[in-house]
Amino acid sequence: MHIVVCIKQVPDSAQIRVHPVTNTIMRQGVPTIINPYDLFSLEEALRLRDQLGGKVTVITMGPKMAIEALKKCISYGADDAILLTDKVFAGSDTLATSFALASTIAKIGETTPVDMVFCGKQTIDGDTAQVGPGIARRLHMQQLTYVAQVEKVDLDKGEIVVHRRSEGGVQVLATKLPCLVTMLEGSNVMRYGSMDDLFRAARYEVAEWDHKAAGITVTAQCGLKGSPTVVKKVFAPPARAVKAEMIKTEGKTPREVADALLTSVFAKHPKLEMEIGQ
Amino acid sequence: MAEKFDAIVIGAGPSGNAAALVMARAGMKVLQLERGEYPGSKNVQGAILYAEALEQIIPNCRRQAPLERPIIEQRMWVLDDESYVGSNYRGTKKKDEPPTRYTVIRANIDRWMSKKATDAGVLLICEATVLDLIKLDGKVVGVRTDRLGGDILAEVVVLADGVNSLIATKAGLRPTIKAADVALAVKEMHFLPKEVIEQRFNIANDEGVVIELFGKITKGMMGTGFLYTNRESIALGIGCMADDFKKGGVTPYDLLDAMKAHPAIKPLIAGSEVKEYAAHLIPEGGYKAIPQVHGDGWVIVGDSGGFVNAVHREGSNLAMTSGRLAAETILKLKEEGKPFTAQHLARYRAALEDSFVMKDLKKYRNMPEIFHANPQFFTTYPELLNRAAATILKVDGIDKKTKEKEIAGEFVKRRSRLGLLGDAIKLVRSFR
Ligand SMILES: Cc1cc2nc3c(=O)[nH]c(=O)nc-3n(C[C@H](O)[C@H](O)[C@H](O)COP(=O)(O)OP(=O)(O)OC[C@H]3O[C@@H](n4cnc5c(N)ncnc54)[C@H](O)[C@@H]3O)c2cc1C
Ligand SMILES: Cc1cc2nc3c(=O)[nH]c(=O)nc-3n(C[C@H](O)[C@H](O)[C@H](O)COP(=O)(O)OP(=O)(O)OC[C@H]3O[C@@H](n4cnc5c(N)ncnc54)[C@H](O)[C@@H]3O)c2cc1C
């Protein structure tokens, strides 16, 4: 079984701020992490590999520094990693990103056919949740989104059963391989890799692919050229001017506290008191 | 794990990085294990870097290392509750004489130094914690880590795991560190625009200031405070002996808050944004607290050996130097084909004794005890000194001679004549 896991290196959004004057995102000095959702999909892929045999290949499209994120995936136990990096990919929106990733996966499949692709549900920086479905559509794969758990994969029958979270509850879905899964958070816990895997990661040379290596001959669908999305404006929502108010009371019992609360509300809105009284 | 190494270095702080780099550069097969996410992620320092110690390991370091500002001015302040008496030294940069002290940010400098080590061939594994040493017939032959399949063997193990050195204690190589021999320090990073810092401290864009703080800010405990200028931030912190904290009931962050509110400090950090808060131990027991530093198959370097000169706030340079000396000893023994026995590794101890590391620590060997037992140096004297200054400087119609008498009388009243003499002798002894 060959599984490809797509990961994205993202700025640690807990530490990111929007510049108050220029309204641009201040990325400088913000540490990068692997998109948290992608770790759940990597762990799910590793579990399937451990169960059924085969291999896990991790890919990302991004700048050179994304090598660190890929090496980290090796240290968790992934077998191979490929960095898709090329100037022509700069400025990709979700359309161009999924085109580039789909081409790469197709190319990888020429050597070892791909049975499954894993993506995170969404990223914590772009937040669109469009890339996974975009890849599935292009590769004519079945797609299962918002997956909380992969229940079973039957390689002989070429079948997969998953639990998908939906608004009303949990759907148990079955479909055919090859398929693409996007994983929800909290579905599993990333393993603590072995010393062998740490050694392998420290010595691993990540393969770097440009557009040609990924089998892309025409670059019109890549990068800025292939990205119809335009960012018109970025802004930080202004802090709310209204401050919370503390209502002071000497009272201790629930009755006294409730009374103090009502008194203060009615003091502000005398009409309300009148209306209730009528 | 079947793979064997010539040397394993535990820890990727300045001492471990120095040792690993020097050994790998000479062709040894070195494994370095660090429990943090990356080198420097767990480390705390003021931080002043002493460039000479680094220069000995990485020539031309000043041109490559991520340094913040060279120090051109040193201020020493003795603080009373609301005032201070201070001295300043301000020099100028000389063309043919490079500065020796720079402010740095540890996460940056540690990563930079570690990159030099991995470039030289060190295999660095982060996020792996060493739990214990593996011994065979009393000789250290490897380490046990918290990872699956994590036993790794080597000819020699360098313990560079920092002040607590739990591993050395667990393996019975040294006693548990005592609260009387370590200081607990807290530190904050206050961010301010570059121009604001330069204006407030009267410096140019490539100049920095150090303020060492002493006196009532430590509330009678043995300790000091500091304030350093980085490029776009101010590092400030305060530390006292751990056993003093235990006795006194004052918390470290109380001390730091009070220090930040002192009228002399407050305007220097006004309007800043605090982005980091850290706490760390510093081994300050001095010469007398240094444990056995070598044995069969192992050596101890840096903070884990207690190599910190608290008086001059030097630690990272002793760490780098001890790491280098240990590595050089190991290389020499390897070249001579000698095994890494306690007897042969004793050369490392000799090299330490011969260097500034042990010479400086020896010089101040009495200081920790004396200051620890005499809190008047941290309370009464700073107060008296500040009052004396205030008295002399006040122009109120009283003649100067009367004022001098009043000041002298105050000193005698507070400490007695014998007490003053005793304190003077103690001060001299502590520096010798
Ligand atoms: C408003 C807006 C403005 C933007 N502006 C710019 C810009 O100016 N310049 C710029 O370069 N980018 C910009 N981007 C980012 C870029 O368009 C997206 O980050 C990118 O297309 C991926 O979309 P996403 O992050 O929403 O991923 P999602 O669709 O939320 O990601 C789902 C999953 O797809 C996979 N995935 C996503 N991206 C990658 C990847 N690169 N490699 C491997 N797997 C991946 C992961 O498994 C991920 O969990 C912008 C995005 C938005 C929403
Ligand atoms: C507040 C403060 C201010 C200071 N100011 C200065 C200053 O201005 N100038 C100066 O020169 N010195 C200063 N020092 C002292 C200086 O920081 C230390 O002397 C120096 O960091 C010692 O280096 P080291 O490599 O021995 O230890 P550390 O830097 O502590 O490195 C030890 C490393 O070992 C790792 N480790 C620990 N246990 C394990 C384990 N079991 N397995 C794997 N890895 C492990 C740790 O994660 C850490 O990275 C200051 C210290 C403090 C706390």
Residue A199 lies in a domain: yes
Question: Ligand 2 center to residue A82 CA distance, Å?
Answer: 36
Q: Which residue of A has its CA nearest to B124?
A: A202
Q: Does domain B180-283 match CATH 3.40.47.10?
A: no
Is A105 part of a structural domain of the chain?
yes
Decide if A199 and B145 are in contact by the 8 Å CB cutoff.
no
Same domain, A124 and A262: no
Give yes or no: residues A13 and A88 share one domain. Answer: yes
* Chain A residue numbers touching B124 (CB-CB < 8 A): 202
pLDDT, one tens digit per residue, over B39-58 is 988 888 888 999 999 999 99
Quote the minimal CA–CA distance from B329 to chain A in Å.
Answer: 28
Identify the DSSP state of A31. P
Q: Classify the phi-psi angles of B311: left when phi > 0, otherwise alpha if psi is within -120 to 50, otherwise beta.
A: alpha
pLDDT bracket for residue B143 (50, 70, 90): very high
* Ligand 1 pocket, residue A9 CB under 6 Å: no
Interface contacts (A, B; CB < 8 Å): 32
Same domain assignment for residues A217 and A250: no
A interface test, pick of B119, B122, B147 with most A CB neighbours within 10 Å: B147
Do A255 and A215 belong to one domain? no
What pLDDT does A22 receive? 67
Which CATH number belongs to the domain containing residue A77 in this structure? 3.40.50.620
* Distance of alpha carbon B207 from alpha carbon A254, whole angstroms: 62
Look at residue A250 and tell me if it is in a domain: yes
Chain A environment of B233 (Cβ under 8 Å): none
What ranges in B91-238 are assigned the alpha helix state H? Answer: 106-119, 166-170, 194-201
Which chain B residue's Cα is nearest to A203? B123
Contact B1 A195 (CB under 8 A): yes
Distance CA B64, CA B326 (A): 25
Ligand 2 atom closest to the CA of B16, numbered from 1: 25
Contacts B127 to A, Cβ<8 Å: 75, 198
Per-residue CA distances from B70 to A247, B62, B204, B232, B233 (Å): 53, 10, 11, 14, 14
Mutate to test the pocket of ligand 2, among B108, B316, B360 (most ligand atoms within 8 A of CB): B316
Fold: same for B4-66+105-175+291-354 and B180-283: no
Same domain, A153 and A264: no
Predicted pLDDT of residue A227: 93
Q: Is pLDDT above 90 for B3?
A: no
If one residue of B210, B303, B311 were mutated to test the ligand 2 pocket, choosing by the most ligand atoms within 8 A of its CB, it would be B303
For residues A182 and A132, the answer to whether their CB atoms sit within 8 Å is: yes
Q: How far is CA A115 from CA A10, A47, A149, B93, B315, in A?
A: 27, 15, 17, 66, 56
Q: Residue B16: which pLDDT band, with cuts at 50, 70 and 90?
A: very high
Q: How far apart are CA A230 and CA B238, in angstroms?
A: 51
Q: What is the CATH number of domain B4-66+105-175+291-354?
A: 3.50.50.60
pTM attached to this predicted model: 0.89
Residue A233 lies in a domain: no
To test the ligand 1 pocket, which listed residue (A24, A33, A89, A97) has its Cβ within 8 A of the most ligand atoms? A97
Backbone angles phi, psi at A210, to 5 degrees: -100, -175
Residue-wise pLDDT for A171-223, tens only, equals: 999 999 999 999 998 889 999 999 999 999 999 999 999 999 999 999 999 99
CB proximity under 8 Å: A 68-97 to B: 75
Q: Residue B235 in contact with residue B213, Cβ under 8 Å?
A: no
Structural domains counted in chain A: 2
Residue A121, domain member (yes or no) = yes
Instruction: Tell whether A61 and A117 lie within a shared domain.
Output: yes
The whole-angstrom separation of Cα B148 and Cα A196 is 8
Smallest CA–CA distance, residue A147 to chain B, in Å, is 30
Q: Per-residue pLDDT averaged across B318-335, rounded?
A: 98
- Backbone torsions φ then ψ of B86, nearest 5 degrees: -140, 165
Tell me: the pLDDT tens digits for B350-380? 999 999 999 999 999 988 888 888 888 888 9
H-type helices in chain A, by residue range? 36-52, 67-76, 94-111, 131-138, 195-203, 254-268, 270-277
Kindly report the average pLDDT of chain B as a whole number. Answer: 93
Give the tens place of pLDDT for each residue, B70-122. Answer: 999 999 999 999 999 999 999 887 778 899 999 999 999 999 999 999 999 99
A203 touching B, CB under 8 A?
Answer: yes
The one-letter amino acid code at B202 reads N
* Stretch B209-217: mean pLDDT: 95
DSSP string, B339-354: ---HHHHHHHHHHHHH
The string of pLDDT tens digits covering residues B175-204 is: 899 999 999 999 999 999 999 999 999 999
Task: Give the H/E segment covering residue A80.
Answer: strand A80-84
Query: Does residue A239 form part of some domain?
Result: no
Distance from CA of A56 to the nearest CA of B (A): 20
A159 in the same domain as A60: yes
B165 within 8 A of B306, measured Cβ to Cβ: no
Report residue A19 as tokens.
């510049």
* Interface contact flag, B125 A198, Cβ < 8 Å: yes
Residues in CB range of B281: below 8 A, 6 or more apart: B163, B164, B182, B183, B184, B185, B242
Weakest mean pLDDT among A17-26, A105-114, A132-141, B146-155:
A17-26
* A20 pLDDT tier (thresholds 50, 70, 90): low
Give the residues across from B153 on adjacent strands. Answer: B4, B142
Q: For position B46, what pLDDT does the model report?
A: 86
pLDDT at A241: 81
CB atoms A195 and B152 under 8 Å: yes
* pLDDT tens-digit map of B278-294: 999 999 999 999 999 99
* DSSP E strand boundaries for B11-100: 30-34, 48-50, 67-79, 84-90
Q: In chain B, where are the structural domains located? A: 4-66+105-175+291-354, 180-283, 368-430
In this structure, the answer to whether residues A258 and A195 fall within a common structural domain is no
Residue B163 has pLDDT above 90, yes or no: yes
In a domain, A230, yes or no: no
Spell out where B192-340 has E strands.
208-215, 223-229, 233-241, 273-283, 294-295, 298-300
For residues A210, A213, A215 and A218, what is the CA-based torsion angle, rounded to 10 degrees? 40
Residue minimizing CA distance to atom 5 of ligand 2:
B46
Q: Nearest-CA neighbor of B292 among B342, B356, B330, B328?
A: B342
How far apart are alpha carbons A181 and A162 in whole angstroms? 9
Chain B residues lying within 8 Å of A195, measured CB to CB: 1, 125, 128, 145, 147-150, 152
Within a domain: residue A229?
no
Task: Please judge whether A196 and B145 are an interchain contact, meaning their C-beta atoms are less than 8 angstroms apart.
Answer: no
Q: Is A21 on the interface with B (CB under 8 A)?
A: no
Give A111 Cα–ligand 1 centroid separation in angstroms.
Answer: 27
Rounded CA separation B162/B168 (Å): 11
Domain that residue A274 falls in: 244-278
